[in-house]
Amino acid sequence: MARSVIFIIAIFLAFCALSCIAQQQPCATYKFLNNKHFSSCSDLPVLSSSLHWNYHPLSNRVDVAFRQTGVTDRRWIAWAVNPTSGGMIGSQAIVSFQRTDGSLAVYTSPITSYGTRLEQGNLSFPVSDLSATNQNNEMIIYASLELHGNISTVNHLWQAGPMSENTPMMHSVGPSSPNVKSIGSLDFLSGRVKATRSSSATLKNVHGILNTVSWGILMPIGAVIARYLKRFESADPLWFYLHVSCQLLAYILGGLSGFGTGIVLSRRSPGMEHSCHKIIGIVLFCLATTQVFGGLVRPDKDSKYRPFFNWFHFLAGCSTLILSIFNIYKGFDLLHAANFWRLAYSGIILTLLLVTLLLEICTRWCLPITKRSIPNAMEKNTSTVIAVATMEV
């Protein structure tokens, strides 16, 4: 009985080990239909892709086969080497897709901007033996590269995206999309592959967090506190300093840090234009700067210019509040954020609106009634005291 149990456990462990090996290196057992053979391969972490290659160190030539499985629709695929950096700009790509007439296109395309449509062009190094296949829901690109310099380690990228007629379209750029994770370094000699994360993707997330917290949350909270101070005519310095702190912190995080990261992203993405989001961001920065530094030149309460300043401060504040909330949702669209973040932010905004509504109800209806009842009670008590005094006399 004990031997049987040990035998079953051994078979189970062996099966698990074989399963792990198969999951780690399925490319090693792949057989190409055209009898091509590659000595090295690596299963890439995303987009159901793998790369096979033969490296010739004496001539610094690499024969590669980029393979993507699960292709059930008409799409483009690409594999690229970036000799200058680890990002998309400067990549030297090889692209393939099926045309509308059923034929297969395969060509080279240098990437010079984020708005590229993968136009055909020469690469910075020679490419030969270019071909592609598309069968059994699998697309494969074959090519021979002659790399410059005595190097074996390169930055590489791989992608896939939709088609519009015979034109490749933009792939997904959401923070959770596998398309923003398809980047890494590759050593042709040792076979070592390292996945990396795009610095631009990280900066986009930082930009989004800074602006959501500042323009989208702190700014509305400061507006609610300002409404409280106005309606209740509160002279409590604690609420005043809290209001000023929220506005200053929002300006530092969003107006300076958020605006600065936006400028950096714009420079890193020369071909990617988000005109509406960018223009609103510039307007918000100008309004917030005017609000912050306008307080330094605020007229005295007795000045004849004080009413004009108050109206400007109110209108600029309302404009900043409305534009900031709109631009936060616009940013969610650009980042393809999950619905959870939209719902969470909407819940915060609705809560602040509810608090503002309660303040309006209290100040417009509850407080006037209370103020009217206090004088009436005092007048009644006074009358009673006078009557009692008269009777005693």
Binding residues for heme b: 207, 243, 277, 313
Structure tokens at 389: 């005094």
* Residue count (the chain): 393
Beta-bridge mates of residue 161 = 76
Contact (Cβ atoms closer than 8 angstroms) between residue 65 and residue 52: yes
For residue 183, count CB atoms less than 10 angstroms from its CB and return exposed for 0-12, middle for 13-18, buried for 19 or more. buried
Q: 């005295």: which residue's tokens?
A: 300
Structure tokens at 54: 């033969």
Please enumerate, by residue number, every residue annotated as part of a binding site. Answer: 207, 243, 277, 313
DSSP 235: -
**CA–CA dist 17, 11 (Å, integer):** 10
